[in-house]
Structure 1
């Protein structure tokens, strides 16, 4: 339990996708439930292979679970082990639940006594942790969202996220089938994100010679479409940078988004 005291998502904030050493994800035990089924267990990890626990657990301090009515749902039985974190979600009403670890913080690096120093954490702690006039000081705001979707019974609408990168599903994320097309709109701060790259990687990469990455680019309306080649879990990833920072000391803002989607057989 000691790990929950560490600030934010650690490795999730280090670098954009092109240079990030590890992937981050949350993966539910099921994404579609019916009848009397009402529980899912969710794993959260940082690793070298999608959906395999081979590096370290994720921090759950920024966990957000939004129920079909828009109200927050409390996670149950939270834990953190050596390689993964986890929790249970009780789906008490029908509809779609949005399960996310969403963080907004800052990273800083500077030189002190001839050595490089680094810090990451909540933006409110920046002034206390980092010398304001440090040599070579560089500060970035980091906005990260890692999420998945679970539906009990009939799917319900998914609300818009107003900060950072997110998705507006045109095709519901719990209504995905192999061989069919699905359409989404990528947003930044709630507005369509035009002409930004999207990558989608099927799970099971440990047992393949190649990642089989699907590379897409949003259109001018932020839209992108994918045809699912096979059933299974998929990792969807988007990253971007801009200068729209809310942290006064920061020169730029790094945005990171990933979602776990399950594609079912027809």
Structure 2
């Protein structure tokens, strides 16, 4: 462990995040067919991919190995009819409880780059397994702890908040305004936390979907305050993509760190 942390302190952070993100240049999204539903039960479909334009399946399907669905009572729900194609992954969710569901694809761990015998090699896995996994004769070791979260929210009936409780891992959205109570022309407030602590002074990019037939993408950037909060006034109805990221260099015994958040929210008329 000492070998890894000391070398990590004098080299730059690894640029790549762990799966499911395939490349920093492409935007990861998890888009539902509906976000607000009524009745005693309902079905919602989801598309998940990475692309240059949000919600345009033209680059790569998302690896859903880290898919976690939190039901309104805090239990875990299971996706159904899952499929991975060339450009998008899909699945369905049967809503059987009243309230709000949090649907998230999450990955985390450590990414390590090193040289052995003149050859560059990489390893990805849990931080606890890192020291044993890197050969004793490895040189030029670069270790970065990473976390990525791509998520959306769906409500059946009245909104609830149990599923919105943060895990304390990575970069997370803590709603002040409920994520399924958004309307065009109205302001909504959220907070970003990093490992459970306020994520201050971060740029948050917000883009509206449907850009394929527009001359210019509709994007805006807001910045989090000291408590991690930020406010958005939605210009039009539609499906919106939200992104923020944070990177810190290695320091002492602390590994370099990178985290990314991608959220999908629907704004109603």
CA distance in 1, matches of 2:265, 2:50: 17
Instruction: Answer whether contact 1:10 1:120 (CA < 8 A) is retained.
Output: no
Any unmatched runs of 5+ in structure 1? 1-7, 15-19
TM-score (norm 2): 0.85
Output the aligned Cα RMSD.
2.4
In the alignment, does 2:82 pair up with 1:78?
A: yes
Instruction: Please give the alpha-carbon distance, in whole angstroms, between the structure 1 residues aligned to 2:105 and 2:217.
Output: 25
Alignment partner, residue 243 of structure 2: 237
What corresponds to 1:12 in structure 2? 21
Distance verdict in 2 for CA 1:37–1:9, change over 3 Å = farther
Aligned residues: 251
State the 1:36 CA deviation: 4.7
5 Å matches for 1:203-218? 203-218=209-224
Matching of residue 99 in structure 1 with residue 103 in structure 2:
yes
Question: Structure 1 residues 214, 60: closer, same or farther in 2, change over 3 A?
Answer: same
Instruction: Return 187-196 or 236-245, whichever deviates more.
Output: 236-245
Distance in structure 1 (CA, Å) of the matches to 2:134 and 2:205: 35
Contact 2:18 2:108 in 1 (8 A): no
Question: Does the 8 A contact of 1:13 with 1:142 survive in 2?
Answer: no
Q: Please, what TM-score do these two structures have when normalized by structure 1?
A: 0.86
Deviation at 1:125, TM superposition (A): 5.5
Counterpart in the other structure of 1:145: 149
Query: Highest CA radius of gyration, 1 or 2?
Result: 2
The 1:132/1:71 distance shift into structure 2, 3 A limit, reads farther
Q: Is the 8 A contact 2:18 2:147 kept in 1?
A: no
The answer for the alignment partner of 2:10 in structure 1 is none
- State the 1:161 CA deviation: 2.6
1:193 and 2:202 matched: no
1:11 is displaced (CA, Å) by 5.8
Structure 2: tracts of 5 or more residues without a match:
1-16
Relative distance call for 1:130 and 1:147 in structure 2 (3 A) is same
Matching residue within 103, 111, 118 for 2:115: 111
CA drift of 1:12 comes to 1.7
Larger relative contact order (CA 8 Å, sep ≥ 6)? 2
